[in-house]
Amino acid sequence: MKIKIEPLTDNTLTLMRRAGYTFQRKEGDEQSFVRELARGGYPRFHVYIKIVKMTAFINLHLDHKKHTYGDETRHHGEYEYTGAVKEETDRLLTSWGEHASIV
């Protein structure tokens, strides 16, 4: 699921903390944040944010469980605007207000 915030008025750390997310890591020009739904760390919502000028581009997905194969970039997840991802997207859009939209 892709969300855009334009213009971005807060820094990404503040924005995501207010939404209940924890900073995970920075990879190149993207930041990664998670919001765990269970004590074991999974399932969890996982967000990648890239800033271009004053616009935040946010990729949101739901990780059901930790990857189970050798390739660390593959895992069991949901990416579409349905179910739990839809509910989380709608929650974020409401909290971020009129500057946020689905891309």
Residue 65 — pLDDT band, cuts 50, 70, 90? Answer: confident
Strand partners, 89: none
CA angle, corner 64, sides to 79 and 68, nearest 5?
A: 110
Q: Tell me which of 2.10.25, 3.30.310, 3.40.50, 1.20.58 is the CATH number of domain 2-102.
A: 3.30.310
> pLDDT (tens digit, 9 = 90+) per residue, 28-46?
999 999 999 998 889 999 9
C-alpha 35/C-alpha 21 separation (Å) is 5
* DSSP conformational letter for 53: T
Average model confidence (pLDDT) across the chain: 91
The full set of domain ranges for the chain reads 2-102
Nearest residue to 92 (alpha-carbon basis) of 11, 15, 39: 15
The per-residue pLDDT for 74 is 53
Residue 72 — pLDDT band, cuts 50, 70, 90? Answer: low
C-alpha 9/C-alpha 55 separation (Å) is 9
Q: Does the pLDDT value for residue 69 go beyond 80? A: no
The per-residue pLDDT for 31 is 98
